[in-house]
Amino acid sequence: MRLLVHSLLLWGRIRRQPTNTGRRGLASRDTMRLVQFCQLNKEREVRVGVDLGQGQGIVDLKSFDSSVPSTMREFLETGHRGMECAQRALSSGLCVVPSSEVGLLSPVTGPEKVVCVGMNYRDHCLEQNAPIPKEPIIFSKFPSAITGPFDDILLPDESKEVDWEVELAFVIGRRGKHIKVSEALSYVAGFTVANDVSARDWQMHRNGKQWLLGKTFDSFCPLGPALLNTFFWSPDPHNLGIRCRVNGNVVQESNTNQMIFRTEKLVAWVSQFATLCPGDVFLTGTPPGVGVFKNPPIFLKKGDVVECEIDDIGVIRNTVI
């Protein structure tokens, strides 16, 4: 909890939830949109809730049941007990906080791991004239790179080539090692939207061309706006429109059906090397249209607004400062 509070103080501004997060991301009876939030008048009190969508408010799970943990990572560790509580709270119609009084945080903060996958869209490989990978290309971000769905992206003085990457992300819901592909989806708590912000000069030309430093500046991993719980969500996560806009202009437009290695394969693959834990975040790769491969290349500058959107999940919107 100390780490989470420090993160909130570092970024300072808890953003009010926009009243319209994209019509493709609205809740329905088939979804449970788990969020991590603060009430604007109680900025240090992190809570887990269920977003009702369409500006109807957020169900505060800890107000409904005081035994519910305050962070998503701890909530996921409770397993079925936590999900059953969330379902009861949603059905009760009680403990609803108005959307106007809520600041959304990243759905998960302080995970043990942030696992990223490179070159995982067929159309992105074609964009670079690169071969299709034979096995997942894995790298990572530091958890401190995570920021909220409507928080600012901090443009570092150390880089002149900061780029965007819209990505489908998922979060692990239970502990596992050497997980079988056939069982892998049962380890996934839900899906969300990510922006794998990347300093291309550091990724491609500095530090021995290792990717880590170029990927992990503070604020380089916006996540949100909600975690769509897999138990309550029926659409196929591998057949969703995915897009990125910069200052309202579409720069990336594809579909998650272009993914080379899908969720179950990624879970099984990474679990060979490391034990997966509740709250671990996976970023699954980006489609074509990133700035570095445009002619001429285009990079983010102060004042730019980046929107990353995935059908049925929602939109994150971050201003570059």
Antiparallel, parallel or unpaired: β 146-147 and 221-229 = parallel
- pLDDT of res. 128: 87
- pLDDT of res. 60: 98
Q: Where are the alpha helices (DSSP H) in the chain?
A: 2-11, 61-64, 72-77, 80-92, 122-127, 200-204, 212-215, 263-270
Over range 194-199, report the average pLDDT.
98
pLDDT tens sequence across 148-189: 999 999 999 999 999 999 999 999 999 999 999 999 999 999
- pLDDT of res. 234: 63
Task: Tell me how far CA of residue 35 lies from CA of 106, 138, 229, 292, in angstroms.
Answer: 8, 27, 10, 33
pLDDT tens sequence across 197-253: 999 999 999 988 899 999 999 999 999 999 999 776 667 899 999 999 999 999 999
Over range 52-68, report the average pLDDT.
96
Query: Shortest CA distance to 235 belongs to which of 310, 180, 179, 306?
Result: 310
Kindly report which listed range (19-28, 173-182, 305-314) carries the lowest average pLDDT score: 19-28
Q: Which residue has the tokens 């899906």?
A: 191
What's the mean per-residue pLDDT of the chain? 90
Q: Which amino acid is at 103?
A: G
Using 50, 70 and 90 to split pLDDT, how confident is the model at 44? confident
Asked if residue 1 has pLDDT above 50, the reply is no
- At 316, is the secondary structure helix, strand, or coil? strand
Q: Which residue has the tokens 């009243």?
A: 19
Task: Tell me how far CA of residue 258 lies from CA of 238, 273, 285, in angstroms.
Answer: 8, 26, 10
- At 184, is the secondary structure helix, strand, or coil? helix
- pLDDT of res. 11: 34
Kindly report which listed range (4-13, 165-174, 192-201, 308-317) carries the lowest average pLDDT score: 4-13
- pLDDT of res. 185: 94
Which helix (H) or strand (E) element contains residue 27? none
Over range 59-70, report the average pLDDT.
97
Residue that wins the pLDDT comparison between 22 and 35: 35
- pLDDT of res. 270: 98
pLDDT tens sequence across 71-117: 999 999 999 999 999 999 999 999 999 999 999 999 999 999 999 99
Own/partner long-range contacts of 28-33 (Cβ < 8 Å, ≥24 apart): 28/53, 30/232, 30/233, 30/234, 31/228, 31/229, 31/232, 31/233, 31/312, 32/86, 32/87, 32/90, 32/228, 32/229, 32/231, 32/232, 32/233, 33/226, 33/227, 33/228, 33/229
Q: Which residues contact 80 (CB under 8 A, 6 or more apart)?
A: none
E strand segments, the chain: 33-39, 42-51, 58-60, 96-97, 102-104, 114-118, 137-141, 146-147, 162-163, 166-172, 188-195, 198-199, 221-229, 241-246, 249-255, 281-283, 305-310, 314-319
Residue that wins the pLDDT comparison between 222 and 18: 222
Over range 258-285, report the average pLDDT.
98
Asked if residue 20 has pLDDT above 50, the reply is no
Q: Which residue has the tokens 């897999």?
A: 230
Which domains are delineated in the chain? 33-104 (no CATH), 114-320 (3.90.850.10)
Query: Shortest CA distance to 78 belongs to which of 279, 282, 316, 256?
Result: 279
Using 50, 70 and 90 to split pLDDT, how confident is the model at 16? low
Q: Which residue has the tokens 């379902």?
A: 87
Asked if residue 63 has pLDDT above 50, the reply is yes
Q: Cα angle at 149 between 105 and 47, to 5 degrees? A: 15
